[in-house]
Structure 1
Amino acid sequence: MEHADVVVVGGGPAGAACAAAVRRARPDADVLVLDRAGFPRDKVCGDGIAPEALDVLGGLGIDVPALTDGFPAVPRLRLQGPRGTTVERTTHRPSVVVPRAVLDGRLLAQVLAGGVRFQRHTVRSIAVHPTHVEVDGRFTAPVLVGADGAESVVRRALGIAPNAPDRLAVAIRGYAPVPAGAEGVQVVTTTEQRWPAYAWSFPLGDGRANVGYGELVSAGVTRAELVAGLHRLLPGVEPGDLRAHRLPLSTGRPRLPDGRVLLAGDAQSLINPLTGEGIFYAVLSGALAGAASAHGAQAGQVHRRLLRRRLGAHLRSSGLASQLSRWPVLMDAAVRAATEDQRVFDDVVALGLADGRLTARTLAATVRRVR
């Protein structure tokens, strides 16, 4: 048996943030990250990183400029409602778009340089004992954190069911030349056809953009229909290396378990139901899992309390906004309100990309503009 103080399953942003948080709080802690892949490796994602996610990483001692080096800030965001209403404004703080093959590799390398250990290993079984957690009969630790993504082995080992189809999205993603007029602009566009559905174009700063399209699994969408939706909403875009992935939405997140096994990021169904954003949730929930890991048998309870305190109000807001967004007329009214008031635009961006709330100001402005 190989022993560690904390075992983290998954070396992506959630797992790396967790490992960094453990070492930040306990510099002598032995943290072991297990991942079936070597790094750098690609991960199907929109690649957009909100400034709030970088704030979390900076607070863990991560060198953020080194993390994003070579990828310029993207200062503007364009939103198109399902009935065609469009707003484009400068965001309160710019985002950055970094391919996950670059971001995850750089982030994990910084964490490993800080004393965390890494081993390539495919986790298959987890046994929880009164005093420790055992992985595949090979590794033990007082606490284990499952940060192993949407198809989490750790989550299955805990007996937690996957999200229901109406709480699960599927998206397809590739890279293509930036669409005309979209350089330096993050584009999110929606449509009434097959609603709720959306497409995006996020520029990398080198003439390419990450482009994709997604829908709810409950709509029964096929790969061919995902590709057709992408072409319909981003006409003329011909991406290469199209890959699909599932997005377990936060509206279907499970109750976090008690005890010595924690979940973070996609494994916990922390994907924003409005935008599909997950990196902010990943690094934040990972960091909080790292903080909770010091509590041993009570780690699960502590993690649940920390997340509720930090994200509870936001998740209630995003869940309500997700329900309201099922009516395209309300979505267009919200976009129309954002065209007229920068504060409403900022509220909408914070709700969709970070930890904002559904404010009374935005609700009132939306209702006034329903047509």
Structure 2
Amino acid sequence: MTGTTDWDLVVVGAGPAGSCAALAALTTGLTTAPHLRVLLLDRADFPRDKSCGDGIAPHVLDALARVGAADVVDGWTPLSHLELARGEVSVSGPMTREVHVVPRTVFDARLVDHAVAAGAVLQRRRVRSVEVRADRVVLDGELSARVVVGADGAHSVLRPTLLGQEQRLRAIAIRGYAPTAEAWRGRQVIRYGPRPQPAYAWAFDRGDGWSNVGYGELLPGPERGAGPSRALLLDQLEALLPGSVPDGKDWKGHHLPLSGWNWRQPDGPMLLVGDAAALVNPMTGEGIYYAVATGIAAGRAAARCLAEGEPGRAGAVHRRAVRGLLGRHLKHTWAAARLARVPAVVDAGIRAAGRDRHAFDSLVELGLGDGRIGPRLAVGLARELIRPSGPDHEESHVDPVRP
């Protein structure tokens, strides 16, 4: 099978989105379909590193459990404590559900192993061209498939074929690993900086003596000149999390194509998932949940339409599934990100989270999974925006028990 050039499904990119697409296609349980011939392509060998905060939200494990892959975090210590701060305004407290911090060298390789164990054929290849024909999609003029999933990341080769050269809002981030400081131990720490919001540094304790540390910010539009340099990003990280840079290692930078108000997926046999679909939380830069969830949706859509002999319907089926899963959430995160460009709103959100457990939980859900701006969070924000200024130093802790 390895030498075959004609496949049922080809997945371009074997990160979380692509591996989950291949895995879901092969584990749908459709008894009417023959065993699918699935090819999983990536330009790198695994394990390979990837610039990321490494945070694995509980929503990710919920989705992975449905395809038998929730064991990818085994052996890594869960975290339950979150700290948010901007200047002297801060809040800290336990999250309702635990998160994990797993290096992408481990997480991604484990997902690839699951996909291969299910029957996917993994090949190293950089795809350079795509052509959509009447009955199939052809890659590089020699590989063909009835359905193709584009999971090839922020600089996707497949995306322009479907959606043209779009101008999308982007962020940039740099990530490294530093010895875990006492102030970060057992928690996820996020500290917002003074540059145009959203701009923040993070330290996420891996539980093995090291923390994932990094800094990211919104990129200016093309009319506003070049983005920040590597030196500036590291300077901001060190200013917000002192001691993280001198002892840090394995620095990697990455562009993040941020989600907008609407999400597009055309009809046809080509599907986009994860970063290639510009599915990255514009408020936090989180993308792993979106990658896993949309990858699974794409794999199921592909398997269903192939089984029914209608691969051209895969785009429509995938679009309905993703909009049902994330449509409202994406609109709320877009609105939250726009609001968060105003520093006073960031402060108000942190203070509201400190006064109301429900507001704290809502912020966590907005940033990590499928949350929305509910009435209590909206009211809390409004109250904090009109509340007279308090003392210079404001620190609060949320109660671990819901009111």
The TM-score bracket by the shorter chain reads over 0.9
User: SS in structure 2 opposite 1:237?
Assistant: coil
Does structure 1 residue 250 correspond to structure 2 residue 256? no
Can you list the C-alpha shifts for 1:283-326, whole angstroms capped at 9, x where unaligned?
00111111221321011111111111111110011011111111
1:168 counterpart (164, 170, 173):
170
Percent of residue pairs bearing the same amino acid type: 46
Shift of 1:254: 5.5
Partner of 1:46: 53
Shift of 1:252: 7.3
Does structure 1 residue 357 correspond to structure 2 residue 372? yes
The question of whether the paired residues in 2 share the 8 Å contact of 1:262 and 1:300 is answered with yes
Partner of 2:399: none
1:221 counterpart (225, 228, 233):
228
User: SS in structure 2 opposite 1:5?
Assistant: strand
Partner of 1:206: 208
1:9 counterpart (4, 8, 12):
12
CA spacing shift, 1:123–1:340, aligned 2, 3 Å: same
Can you list the C-alpha shifts for 1:244-270, whole angstroms capped at 9, x where unaligned?
100000027762122111100000111
The question of whether the paired residues in 2 share the 8 Å contact of 1:163 and 1:252 is answered with no
1:336 counterpart (336, 351, 361):
351
Task: Write the distance in 1 (CA, Å) between the matches of 2:341 and 2:89.
Answer: 16
Partner of 2:198: 196
Structure 1, unaligned stretches of length 5 or more? none
User: SS in structure 2 opposite 1:365?
Assistant: helix
Residue type of the partner of 1:154?
A: L
Task: Write the distance in 2 (CA, Å) between the matches of 1:262 and 1:194.
Answer: 34
Task: Write the distance in 1 (CA, Å) between the matches of 2:121 and 2:167.
Answer: 32
Shift of 1:362: 0.2
1:74 counterpart (65, 71, 79):
79
Partner of 2:128: 124
Structure 2, unaligned stretches of length 5 or more? 306-310, 388-403
Task: Write the distance in 1 (CA, Å) between the matches of 2:61 and 2:103.
Answer: 15
Partner of 1:147: 151
Shift of 1:195: 3.2
Shift of 1:48: 0.4
Does structure 1 residue 282 correspond to structure 2 residue 291? yes
Runs of 4+ in 1 over 3 A off after TM superposition: none
Can you list the C-alpha shifts for 1:9-38, whole angstroms capped at 9, x where unaligned?
000100011111111224711111011111
Does structure 1 residue 110 correspond to structure 2 residue 125? no
Shift of 1:136: 1.1
Q: TM-score, normalised by structure 2?
A: 0.88
User: SS in structure 2 opposite 1:40?
Assistant: coil
Task: Write the distance in 1 (CA, Å) between the matches of 2:195 and 2:336.
Answer: 20
Shift of 1:242: 1.4
Shift of 1:68: 1.2
After the TM superposition, which of the residue ranges 27-36 and 224-233 deviates more from structure 2?
27-36
Task: Write the distance in 2 (CA, Å) between the matches of 1:171 and 1:162.
Answer: 21
Task: Write the distance in 1 (CA, Å) between the matches of 2:167 and 2:301.
Answer: 25
User: SS in structure 2 opposite 1:192?
Assistant: coil
The question of whether the paired residues in 1 share the 8 Å contact of 2:193 and 2:236 is answered with no
The question of whether the paired residues in 2 share the 8 Å contact of 1:84 and 1:332 is answered with no
Task: Write the distance in 2 (CA, Å) between the matches of 1:84 and 1:193.
Answer: 16
The question of whether the paired residues in 2 share the 8 Å contact of 1:253 and 1:269 is answered with no
Can you list the C-alpha shifts for 1:188-239, whole angstroms capped at 9, x where unaligned?
1102334331111111111100100011110721111111111111111121
Partner of 1:348: 363
Can you list the C-alpha shifts for 1:139-177, whole angstroms capped at 9, x where unaligned?
11111000011011111333532443xx10000110001
Does structure 1 residue 300 correspond to structure 2 residue 315? yes
Task: Write the distance in 1 (CA, Å) between the matches of 2:204 and 2:291.
Answer: 19
1:178 counterpart (177, 180, 196):
180
Q: CA RMSD in A?
A: 1.5
CA spacing shift, 1:215–1:139, aligned 2, 3 Å: same
The question of whether the paired residues in 1 share the 8 Å contact of 2:13 and 2:41 is answered with yes
The question of whether the paired residues in 2 share the 8 Å contact of 1:253 and 1:270 is answered with no
User: SS in structure 1 opposite 2:264?
Assistant: coil
Shift of 1:137: 2.2
Residue type of the partner of 2:274?
A: G
Shift of 1:60: 1.1
Can you list the C-alpha shifts for 1:115-146, whole angstroms capped at 9, x where unaligned?
11111111011111111111112211111000
User: SS in structure 1 opposite 2:256?
Assistant: strand
Q: TM-score, normalised by structure 1?
A: 0.95
Task: Write the distance in 2 (CA, Å) between the matches of 1:7 and 1:252.
Answer: 29
Aligned residues: 366
Does structure 1 residue 241 correspond to structure 2 residue 250? yes
After the TM superposition, which of the residue ranges 347-356 and 155-164 deviates more from structure 2?
155-164
